[in-house]
Homo-oligomer: A and B are copies of this chain.
Amino acid sequence: MLLQASFDHDAMHQPANANDVLMDAAIKARPAALSLYDEGATIYAQGDKAGPLFLVEFGSVRLCRMTAEGRRQISAFVLPGEVFGFEASGNHAFQAETVDCTGLRLLPPACDAQSARDTLTLALRGLMQAQEHLLVLGRQSAVERVASFLLDLATRQNDDQTVYLPMQRADIADYLGLTFETVSRTIGKLRDMNLIRLASVREIRLLDIEGLKTLCA
C-alpha cells in the first residue's frame, strides 16, 4: 500500500475520452488508493461478491466468462479512464482479469444522490457498449469485426492513426467471437488491402480509416 501510494494520480492518469470530466469529479469526491496488478491477474472471479467499482488508471482489463466446455467469451476490454465492476445481483457474473500490468483505483459504492447519478451514467455507457457489441457479434463477418475493433480501439485510445493492442490474438478472438487463427488471417488481409500496417505485432497503423469504416458496413 505504501508503494502504491507513491504513484501520483495526475502523472499516471491517461485521459481516454469524455469520461474524464465525470471521472475526475468522481475521484475528487471520493479519492481512493491506487492498486497495482500484474499481467494476467484476476481482479475478481465469477461468483465473487460484488462491491466497489474500479477505475482503470493505466493498463487494461478484460471482462470474461467461460462456458462448460471451456469456450471463453470476453464481453469487454476496459481501457484507461474507463470503469468496470457493475453487477445487477450481489455477485459477479463475469470475471475481471488484467491484460497487462495495470493500475486500478477503487470507487466506493455511491451514497449520495449525485454519485448515484454518476454511477447510472457510467452503467448506461456500459450498456450501450454491450449493445453495440451485440451488433458486431450478431451480424458482422470476420473482416467487419476486426475492422470495427481496430476503429473502436483507436477512438478510445484518442489516437486516430496508431492502435496499440495490449492483448494477444486469442483475447481479440474471444472478444470478437472468432478463432485466433481467423483474427490473424483477417489482420493479414487488412494489411494486404493496404488499410493497415503492422509496425509490430502489437502496434497497428491505420492507413485508410475511411476504407476501414466502409468495411464495417
Binds B, one of A25-33, A134-142, A194-202: A134-142
How many copies altogether? 2
A88-B128, A127-B88 known; A217-B120 Cβ under 8 A: no
Binds B, one of A37-45, A111-119, A182-190: A111-119
Kindly provide the distance from the CB of A50 to the nearest chain B CB, expressed in whole angstroms. Answer: 10
Kindly provide the distance from the CB of A58 to the nearest chain B CB, expressed in whole angstroms. Answer: 24
* Residues in B whose Cβ lies below 8 Å from that of A86: 124, 127
Contact partner, A139, options B89, B132, B177, Cβ 8 Å:
B177
The dominant DSSP class at the A interface is helix
| Contact-residue size bin, chain A (C-beta under 8 Å from the other chain) | 35 or more
1/0 contact string of A41-82 vs chain B (CB within 8 Å): 000000000000000000000010101110111010000000
* Residues in B whose Cβ lies below 8 Å from that of A132: 93
Kindly provide the distance from the CB of A119 to the nearest chain B CB, expressed in whole angstroms. Answer: 6
Interface contact B73-A134, CB-CB below 8 Å = yes
9 contacting pairs across A/B (C-beta < 8 A): A67-B217, A68-B217, A73-B134, A88-B127, A113-B116, A116-B116, A116-B120, A120-B123, A133-B134
Interface contact A124-B88, CB-CB below 8 Å = yes
A73-B135, A217-B67 known; A87-B124 Cβ under 8 A: yes
Q: Within residues 116 to 170 of chain A, which ones have a CB less than 8 A from any CB in chain B?
A: 116-117, 119-121, 123-128, 130-135, 137-139
Kindly provide the distance from the CB of A181 to the nearest chain B CB, expressed in whole angstroms. Answer: 16
A68-B217, A93-B128, A116-B113 known; A88-B135 Cβ under 8 A: no
Q: How far is the CA of A176 from the CA of B87 in the complex (A)?
A: 24
Interface contact A131-B217, CB-CB below 8 Å = no
A123-B127, A127-B86 known; A217-B138 Cβ under 8 A: no
